[in-house]
């Protein structure tokens, strides 16, 4: 009997693993985004040891997730294609771009230029491909359901991906080959496209809520990206205005400088709205608070708001704004810790369940 159980255990584990791989969230690279940006925040305030630990976690997660995503594309191709064409899930794949960009920026802070520069270039290539392919797949979907009714917070990640490329290019500019005029143009272009996409996505999400409503069950953590997408525009903007002079950068420097403070202010205004919506979801309607991969989409905006506040406060000499960032950073660290522990618990429970 024991021998039969031992023989059956590996088969059961393979079955559970295969099912988990098939259901792997397209937005799991938000783990890299959230961990990477909290690591950046800790680096900025001088906690380099803790920041380095999170950098390692982000880097290992990045490699593991790429292995899993490729494995899923090979072994569960139909599930992947279903996600690529579905308005509810397709835009979550932009976390791949954003995660690559954020990890590259953190590596640049530590001086790992040989690793970071290829990642920045890779993020830019992915952004160009995904930026046309994913929206086309979604907008051409004709399955009988209105596309507008299926918009959600993941759509904002399209804007985040664009800003992550701008941020990566701005930080890596001294180490990138090519003419500064072209690099400046690409950096400003990706920042500007990110801002425009944010406006478009905000309109679509608002139209969805007005026309179709939103239930407590549907108000999931990715809606926090509505704040995070503007926060990364602040961080990218503060970096863009400080890069080497070029015609495009010089032409837009004053505009970018004047808008990033407005963006930060709107981020701050959104936070009580998002917290209130969370209370409405979990306490009024009693939706259980349990681990899902989408929780990383909440970690990232909090971490990015902290970095945006610290960066803006230092660049424009705004001590109050910087103080907001330092407080938000430790909230982000706490939220990251809770979500990371919940993720490990979720993985371990799944593993031990498969061994029974």
Q: Which tokens hold the place of 300?
A: 């990232």
Is 1 part of any domain? no
Is 19 part of any domain? no
350 pLDDT more than 80: no
304 pLDDT more than 60: yes
Is 232 part of any domain? yes
Of 5-9, 13-17, 122-126, 313-317, where does mean pLDDT reach its minimum? 5-9
Residue 289 domain boundaries: 26-355
pLDDT band, very low/low/confident/very high, at 14 (cuts 50, 70, 90)? confident
Contact in structure between 329 and 306 (CB atoms under 8 Å): yes
Count of domains for the chain: 1
Is 334 part of any domain? yes
Over residues 307-315, the mean pLDDT reads: 96
Is 87 part of any domain? yes
Over residues 125-141, the mean pLDDT reads: 92
70 pLDDT more than 80: yes
Q: What is this structure's pTM?
A: 0.93
29 pLDDT more than 80: yes
CA 253, 254, 257, 260 torsion: positive or negative?
A: negative
Over residues 64-75, the mean pLDDT reads: 95
Question: pLDDT tens-digit profile of 210-260?
Answer: 999 999 999 999 999 999 999 999 999 999 998 888 899 999 999 999 999
pLDDT, residue 10, reads 64
Is 224 part of any domain? yes
Alpha helix positions (H), the chain:
2-22, 30-44, 48-75, 77-85, 94-109, 113-139, 157-172, 180-212, 225-240, 247-279, 296-315, 319-355
CATH code for position 196 = 1.50.10.150
CB-side neighbour CA atoms (13 Å) of 280: 14
Helix axes 319-355, 296-315, angle to 10 degrees: 160
Average model confidence (pLDDT) for the chain? Answer: 92
Closest CA to 85 of 41, 36, 145: 145
| Residues sharing a CB contact under 8 Å with residue 40, sequence separation 6 or more, in sequence order | 51, 102, 105, 106, 109, 303, 307
Question: pLDDT tens-digit profile of 33-46?
Answer: 999 999 999 999 99
Over residues 270-279, the mean pLDDT reads: 96
Per-position b or e across 54-73, b if 16+ CB within 10 A of its CB: bbebbbebbeebeeebeebe
Is 119 part of any domain? yes
Question: pLDDT tens-digit profile of 190-206?
Answer: 999 999 999 999 999 99
pLDDT band, very low/low/confident/very high, at 5 (cuts 50, 70, 90)? very low
pLDDT, residue 20, reads 83
Over residues 94-100, the mean pLDDT reads: 97
172 pLDDT more than 90: yes
1 pLDDT more than 60: no
8 pLDDT more than 90: no
76 pLDDT more than 80: yes
Is 8 part of any domain? no
From CA 38, how far away is CA 336, in angstroms rounded?
Answer: 8
DSSP state letters, 237-300:
HHHHTTS---HHHHHHHHHHHHHHHHHHHHHHHHHHHHHHHHHIIIIIS-------GGGHHHHH
CA distances to 83, 279, 295 from 36, rounded to whole Å, are 25, 27, 15
pLDDT band, very low/low/confident/very high, at 177 (cuts 50, 70, 90)? confident
9 pLDDT more than 80: no
Over residues 61-65, the mean pLDDT reads: 97
């Amino acid at each position: 009997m024991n021998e039969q159980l031992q023989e059956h255990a590996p088969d059961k584990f393979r079955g559970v693993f295969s099912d988990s791989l098939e259901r792997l969230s397209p937005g799991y690279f938000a783990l890299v985004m959230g961990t990477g940006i909290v690591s950046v925040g800790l680096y900025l305030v001088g906690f380099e040891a803790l920041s380095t630990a999170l950098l390692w976690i982000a880097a290992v997660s990045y490699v593991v997730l790429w292995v899993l995503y490729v494995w899923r594309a090979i072994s569960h191709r139909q599930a992947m294609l279903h996600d690529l064409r579905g308005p509810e899930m397709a835009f979550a794949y932009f976390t791949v771009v954003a995660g690559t960009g954020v990890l590259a920026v953190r590596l640049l802070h530590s001086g790992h230029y040989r690793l970071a520069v290829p990642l920045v270039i890779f993020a830019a290539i992915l952004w160009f491909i995904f930026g046309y392919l994913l929206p086309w797949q979604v907008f051409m979907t004709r399955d009988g359901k209105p596309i507008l009714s299926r918009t959600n917070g993941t759509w904002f990640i399209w804007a985040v991906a664009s800003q992550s490329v701008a941020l990566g290019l701005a930080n890596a500019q001294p180490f990138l080959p090519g003419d500064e005029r072209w690099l400046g143009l690409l950096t400003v272009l990706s920042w500007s496209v990110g801002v425009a996409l944010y406006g478009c996505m905000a309109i679509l999400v608002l139209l969805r809520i007005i026309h179709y409503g939103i239930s407590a069950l549907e108000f999931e953590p990715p809606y926090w990206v509505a704040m995070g997408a503007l926060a990364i525009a602040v961080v990218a903007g503060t970096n863009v205005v400080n890069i080497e002079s070029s015609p495009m950068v010089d032409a837009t420097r004053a505009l970018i400088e004047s808008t990033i403070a407005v963006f930060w202010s709107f981020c701050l205004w959104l936070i009580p709205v998002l917290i209130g919506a969370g209370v409405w979801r979990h306490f009024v309607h009693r939706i259980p608070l349990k681990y899902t991969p989408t929780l990383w989409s909440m970690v990232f905006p909090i971490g990015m708001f902290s970095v945006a506040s610290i960066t803006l406060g230092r660049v424009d000499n705004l001590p109050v704004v910087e103080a907001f960032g330092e407080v938000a950073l430790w909230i982000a660290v706490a939220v990251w810790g809770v979500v990371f522990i919940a993720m490990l618990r979720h993985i371990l429970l799944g593993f031990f369940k498969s061994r029974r």
